[in-house]
């Protein structure tokens, strides 16, 4: 039975996340990531995806996708390289209904064979966010509960994961490498150097289905309570956590340590989720 009074401090809301590697192992992982990153700079995005999903290049790799505004580009490359690759989709239970419909439509269209839907356990939600309003009082804790903890659990057993992040998306991603670490695993960003124009051209060239909210002014799409339309001239991610000092999912990996602190829009950060 959940307690009568839910905890309300960040410390009490802490999630059981994977322990970061000891320094020696982390240094070794960073060296592997740096070597792969150097190799990746000579490869195009499709080749990085194919190499990562083929096996020995980086080990057992999963794909993580939000099925958001630009997700079709990476997922199209995945489908071309290995349609049976595991694709992890985090359903926070606070997504737009359009995202849930688009997830099914796009996965079917591309022939993705192993889409795994991740959700926080009902017991954890009842204990930590019974009102569904944690995103208002502590969005970092909410992201940890609904995104990071389920993802951490699902990534157990994988050597790394592929993301669709790009340098152009925000200031904190401006120096995004092709291969980095999250403190425990490799994190591969095949589209790191792609521009917004390249993304748009790829979507058009391959006539890929678009997320329906893009046409309604949402160039970046997360959970419904934390996403608003973007006005002309604004940063594409300006609608994410608008008016809040937050621009990523709340868990920051700095030198292999998980740091749960608010990320200000101007603050340089380490790799984030
Ligand atoms: S984006 Fe908002 S609603 Fe979604 S998990 Fe993070 S804080 Fe919660």
How many angstroms is it from 139 CA to the middle of ligand 1?
6
Number of helical H runs and strand E runs in the chain: 9, 8
Phi, psi of 87 (to 5 degrees): -115, 120
* Kind of pairing between the strands at 115-118 and 87-90: parallel
Dump pLDDT digits (tens) for 45-91.
999 999 999 988 888 999 999 999 999 999 999 999 999 999 999 99
Distance of CA 181 to the CA centre of its chain: 14
Q: By alpha-carbon position, which residue is closest to atom 2 of ligand 1? A: 226
- Report which ligand 1 atom has the smallest distance to the Cα of 223: 4
Q: 223: Cβ below 6 Å to ligand 1?
A: yes
How many angstroms is it from 117 CA to the middle of ligand 1?
17
- Report which ligand 1 atom has the smallest distance to the Cα of 142: 8
* Kind of pairing between the strands at 160-162 and 115-118: unpaired
Q: Residue 38: count other Cβ atoms within 10 Å of its Cβ.
A: 12
Q: What is the CATH number of domain 23-259?
A: 3.40.50.620
User: Among residues 142, 143, 223, 249, which one is catalytic?
Assistant: 249
The mean pLDDT of 79-105, rounded to a whole number, is 97
Note if 226 is an active site residue.
no
Instruction: In whole angstroms, give the CA distance from residue 121 to residue 137.
Output: 20
pLDDT over 60 (residue 262): no
Please report the pLDDT score of residue 251 as a whole number. Answer: 42
Dump pLDDT digits (tens) for 120-155.
999 999 999 999 999 999 999 999 999 999 999 999
Indicate the domain borders of the chain.
Answer: 23-259
pLDDT over 70 (residue 259): no
How many angstroms is it from 55 CA to the middle of ligand 1?
33
- Of all residues in the chain, the percent with pLDDT exceeding 90 is 64
Rounded to two decimals, the pTM is 0.84
């Amino acid at each position: 039975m959940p307690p009568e009074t839910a905890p309300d401090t960040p410390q009490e809301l802490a999630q059981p996340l994977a322990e970061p590697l000891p320094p020696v192992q982390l240094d070794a992982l960073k060296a592997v990531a740096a070597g792969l990153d150097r190799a990746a700079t000579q490869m195009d995005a499709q080749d990085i995806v194919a190499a990562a999903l083929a096996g020995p290049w980086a080990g057992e790799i999963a794909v993580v996708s939000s099925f958001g505004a630009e997700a079709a580009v990476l997922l199209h490359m995945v489908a071309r390289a290995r349609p049976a690759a595991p694709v992890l989709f985090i359903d926070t239970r606070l997504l737009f209904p359009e995202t849930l419909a688009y997830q099914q439509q796009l996965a079917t269209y591309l022939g993705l064979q192993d889409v795994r839907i991740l959700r926080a356990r009902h017991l954890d939600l009842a204990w930590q966010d019974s009102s569904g309003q944690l995103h208002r009082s502590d969005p970092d804790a909410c992201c940890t509960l609904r995104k990071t903890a389920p993802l951490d659990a699902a990534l157990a057993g994988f050597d790394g994961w592929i993301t669709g992040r790009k340098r152009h998306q925000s200031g904190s991603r401006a120096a995004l490498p092709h291969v980095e670490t999250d403190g425990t695993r490799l994190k591969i960003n095949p589209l790191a150097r792609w521009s917004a124009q390249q993304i748009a051209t790829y979507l058009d060239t391959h006539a890929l289905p678009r997320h329906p909210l893009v046409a309604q002014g949402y160039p970046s799409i997360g959970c419904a309570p934390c996403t608003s339309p973007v006005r002309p001239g604004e940063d594409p991610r300006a609608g994410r956590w608008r008016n809040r000092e937050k621009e990523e999912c709340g868990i920051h990996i700095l030198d292999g340590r998980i740091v749960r602190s608010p990320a200000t829009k101007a603050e340089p950060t380490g790799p984030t989720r």
